[in-house]
């Protein structure tokens, strides 16, 4: 079963409010909400566009993975997230073809979304996240 759609594009920024001056105020994307994520030490602004979202991610400590990425690589496109119907089946299919995964098994967010990352070495340089939405939020 082919992947469903682009769920989101994540952009690492220095600071959410400054980034919103472009993405919301100048470009005109609606801001759905901003999440203060203590676990990952980032603020995330969610801006829907069509059937996908743009996520602006800013670290609020210097110790998180995102903070280290920002210090090393600078602001910009960070990862692509593609939604699939069945993430366990998708990971099994990738493993069977010797694709290098960061997460061999799906992990779960508090809202029930299951996710896993594919290593950039396997994709040609792209950090790729796979999502399976909880049943009540699936489109089908």
Q: Which stretch, 32-40, 61-69, 72-80, 109-117, contacts its own copies (CB under 8 A)?
A: 72-80
What one-character-per-residue DSSP string does 18-68 give? HHHIIIIIIT-PPP-EEEEETTTTEEEEEEEETTEEEEEEEESSSSSHHHH
Residue of 32, 37, 61, 123 that binds its own copies (CB under 8 A): 123
- Interaction between residue 101 and its own copies (CB under 8 A): no
The bridge status of strand 5-12 relative to strand 128-132 is unpaired
Cβ contacts of residue 71 below 8 Å, gap of 6+? 62
- Interaction between residue 3 and its own copies (CB under 8 A): yes
Residues that bind its own copies (CB under 8 A): 1-6, 9, 11-14, 18-19, 22-23, 25-30, 49-52, 54, 56, 74-80, 82-83, 90, 93-94, 97, 99, 120, 122-126
């Amino acid at each position: 079963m082919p992947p469903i759609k682009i769920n989101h594009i994540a952009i690492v920024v220095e600071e959410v409010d400054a980034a919103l001056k472009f993405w919301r105020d100048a470009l005109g994307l609606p801001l759905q909400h901003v999440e203060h994520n203590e676990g990952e030490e980032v603020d995330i602004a969610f801006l829907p566009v069509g059937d996908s979202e743009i996520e602006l991610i800013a670290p609020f400590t210097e110790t998180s993975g995102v903070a280290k990425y920002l210090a090393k690589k600078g602001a910009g496109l960070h990862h692509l997230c593609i939604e699939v119907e069945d993430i366990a089946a998708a990971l099994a299919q990738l493993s069977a073809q010797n694709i290098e995964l960061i997460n061999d098994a799906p992990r779960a967010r508090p809202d029930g979304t299951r996710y896993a990352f594919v290593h950039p070495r396997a994709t040609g340089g792209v950090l790729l996240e796979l999502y399976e939405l909880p049943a009540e939020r699936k489109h089908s």
